[in-house]
Structure 1
Amino acid sequence: MKYVDEFNDPGLARTLLDEIRATVTRPWALMEVCGGQTHSIIRHGIDQLLPDRLELIHGPGCPVCVTPLETIDKALAIASRPGVVFCSFGDMLRVPGTGRDLFRVKGEGGDVRVVYSPLDALELARRHPERQVVFFAIGFETTAPANAMAVHRARRLGLRNFSMLVSHVRVPPAIEAVMSAPSCRVQGFLAAGHVCSVMGTGEYPALAARHRVPVVVTGFEPLDILEGIRRAVHQLERGEHRVENAYGRAVRDEGNPTALRMIEEVFEVTDRAWRGIGPIPGSGWRLREEYRAYDAEHRFDVTGIRTEEPAVCRSGDVLQGLIKPPECPAFGTACTPRTPLGATMVSNEGACAAYHLYRRTTAPHQKEANPVG
């Protein structure tokens, strides 16, 4: 299958690994920003095949994981109301709020539905004018165009029973926050290809120059990731800090102009709190004033909810790259996919879920001969 099988070739992977090993002369730490890349790395054992002096740090690249606890509780409050159809992607239903999740609300009689697109929720609103239909709009820049389009169409159709609970986050401010932290060990980044396919690469050169780190845009298959690592290591060894696009089959520097126009029309930049991390200035989107009538947070008056994270869960440290999942005392014991303490254990892009699914409790420093492919 084009762009899948050919990017899982073990022979080419060995060639790239040999070049990386021959290039690395000192310790380096790279952060992959996207949770999809984290899952690919752990599934294929890429981190265990790299030279010992090269470390991959897992970043806050899971939008489900960084959705604030108070936003989850707002979703639970809205979904519990009579007359509401609450629509969400499936990976949000098991994310723990304070004491329960959306599955529990559904079991208690709430009308919670899994949809595959915000336009599915829009169609429900069109067919059921007597119900209030709410879509849980989370994600990085990748899902923003479709969510913006749904709100745009709702206003054009005059639908008064459709709204969104918005918790969009933006990647470049998160990178800025990571690099500005006193405990930061990151010396280079593997940027998320799907985000850059929408937004382009325009925000990254200033970050690379300011913090003197290479930023390499990569895809999600094993060879994509290895090529991104190879390019980042070459830059580090030469003392360079540039933006490189190693995902040219999907990413253009200018991004997707049509998608960018739709985002600009519907959303505006705002400060956003990230679960386990805290507030990051300019790191989110919210609906513009002219679309505020479709903001579920205001429509259902849930703006006053405040929460506190359970102390035993260290998912925030995982999201910041301070620890690997097995270093959390609750990993695999008190915290499992069936009984998650944090979103990183239940999300399809969560680092804890990746380790539990593909590596169980293997300590992150142990190297295994796990072939790619």
Structure 2
Amino acid sequence: MQEKGNLRDKAELLQRALGFFAKEPMTFMEVCGTHTVAIYRSGLRSLLPKNISLVSGPGCPVCVTDQGEVDAAIKLAEKKGLVFATYGDMMRVPGTKGSLRNLRTQGADVRVVRSCDEALDLALKNPTKEVVFLGVGFETTAPSTAAIILEAEEKKVRNFSVLCFHKLVPPALRLLAESRELKVDGFLLPGHVTVVIGVKPYEFLPRDFNISCTIAGFEPLDIMEGLVELARQVHDKDPKVSLLYARAVRPEGNTRAKKFIRRVFDEADARWRGLGKIKNSGLRLKPEFACFDAITRFDLDIKEVPLPSGCKCGEVLMGKLRPEECPLFSIRCTPDDPVGPCMVSSEGNCAACYKYSYKVMR
């Protein structure tokens, strides 16, 4: 009981601190799917002063996967004699024609794996079949993909390749900071990504754009503390990158994980759902690993494809719309029958809103 009382007292102190600093309207954006879910689940927005607006950004790796990339994955998975391995959330993301889950019901060999190690095991156990692993995610999952490619090279596994759609967060933040349509005073930066890349990659935000930044944990009080720090920076005109998640993040990041990324990947332009093509925001296998690159190996053409009619995932990912402002939300687009990926992923903004906010409001 005493612990609950202490938590309640701390929450009230943080609320008062927010009220003290928020003398003028401030807009903050969280850029992490785990933060988004925690904010909706805890009802944190209801505790914020009226001057603080909290919007969600492109923090869900499944959601930002471009429509053309989804279509390319489905097209490749259709090939006979090929085993297509993917994380579970990608199974239900709608392509222009169906999804990977639909494809599996039609007989395609599409399998859900919990890690890229399982995908490599599939290749070792099925030497007569081509096995392709769908690599999605930010800097958080890229080191694992890099490590498995190095392992495949070491073991001379020649029937294994990766369809690489990994993306890098800082270039997307630069695009958001440069946007004339979106005015953000501060970013609640992604904790898991920062565990890997460290603090330095974000320093351009306060330096070049006068945008406040903080790195916080994922408990509601962690997030509240992060918002207080953002409000303080704006109030004091003291933009910087503050690290409030020292229990998990080192300022230099995870040097070993970054070494894996540099060893296997080059930076490349990439398309993000809703954000368009962003320079050097994606990862592509280095030429020396071309034999493990599914795009090269199967001569895939990643086309520019429009979003489904009426879907506003792009605007939601940019923080321009809240999920419930999409005309399809809860009507044509639900977790059971999604139109866009933001309603599919467990970290999707629309899915979190539907589960923790919209259903309560009804």
Coarse TM-score class (shorter-chain normalised): over 0.9
- Distance (whole Å) between structure 1 residues aligned to residue 311 and residue 95 of structure 2: 13
Question: Distance between the aligned counterparts of 2:10 and 2:120, measured in 1?
Answer: 45
The one-character-per-residue Cα deviations of 1:188-221 (angstroms, maximum 9, x if unpaired) are 0000111111011111112221000111011211
Give TM-score scaled by structure 2 length.
0.96
| TM-score (norm. length: structure 1) | 0.93
Q: Identify the residue that residue 290 of structure 2 maps to in structure 1.
A: 292
2:84 aligned residue (58, 62, 86): 86
SS of residue in 1 equivalent to 2:203: helix
What is the rounded CA distance, in whole Å, between the counterparts of 2:244 and 2:13 in structure 1?
Answer: 17
Q: How does 1:94-243 map to 2 (within 5 A)?
A: 94-243=92-241
Please give the alpha-carbon distance, in whole angstroms, between the structure 2 residues aligned to 1:233 and 1:215. 10
Letter in 2 for 1:302: L
Residues 284-363 of structure 1 mapped to structure 2, 5 A cutoff? 284-303=282-301, 305-360=303-358
Structure with greater helix share of residues: 2
Q: How far did 1:64 drift?
A: 0.3
Q: Secondary structure at the match of 1:121?
A: helix
Q: How many residues align?
A: 358
**Identity in percent:** 42
Is contact 1:326–1:361 with CA below 8 Å preserved after alignment?
no
**Structure-2 residue corresponding to 1:28:** 26
* Among candidates 75, 78, 83, match of residue 73 of structure 2: 75
Runs of 4+ that moved beyond 6 A: none
Q: Distance in 2 between matches of 1:264 and 1:279?
A: 22
**Per-residue CA distance 1:258-278 (angstroms, 9 max, x = gap):** 111111000111111001221
Q: Distance in 2 between matches of 1:195 and 1:298?
A: 28
CA contact (8 A) 1:215 1:244 kept: yes
Q: Does 1:266 align with 2:264?
A: yes
Shift of 1:13: 2.1
One-letter identity of the residue aligned with 1:122:
L
Distance 1:14 1:104 in 2: 49
Deviation (angstroms), 1:293 = 1.0
How far residue 306 of structure 1 moved from its aligned partner, in angstroms, is 4.3
Q: Are the counterparts in 1 of residues 177 and 205 from structure 2 also a CA contact under 8 Å?
A: no
Paired with 1:278 and 1:214, the residues of 2 have a C-alpha distance of 25
CA distance in 1, matches of 2:171, 2:26: 23
Partner deviation per Cα, 1:69-107 (whole Å, 9 max, x = no partner) = 111111111111111111111111110101201100110
CA distance in 2, matches of 1:277, 1:304: 16
In structure 2, the residue corresponding to 1:203 is in which secondary structure? helix
Q: Tell me what 2:48 maps to.
A: 50
Q: 2:316 is matched by which residue type in structure 1?
A: V
Residue type of the partner of 1:164? V
Q: What is the Cα deviation at residue 297 of structure 1?
A: 1.5
Counterparts of 1:342 and 1:284, CA distance in 2:
21
- Structure 2 residue aligned with 1:280: 278
Q: Secondary structure of the residue that 2:358 maps to in structure 1? A: coil
Structure 1 residues 85 and 161 mapped into 2: Cα distance closer, same or farther (>3 Å)? same
SS of aligned partner of 2:45: helix
Describe the superposition over 1:143-194 as per-residue Cα deviations: whole angstroms up to 9, x where unpaired. Answer: 0110100111111110011001111111111110011111011110000111
| Residues 113 and 10 of structure 1: CA distance in aligned 2, closer, same or farther (over 3 Å) | farther
Structure 2 spans left out of the alignment, 5+ residues: none
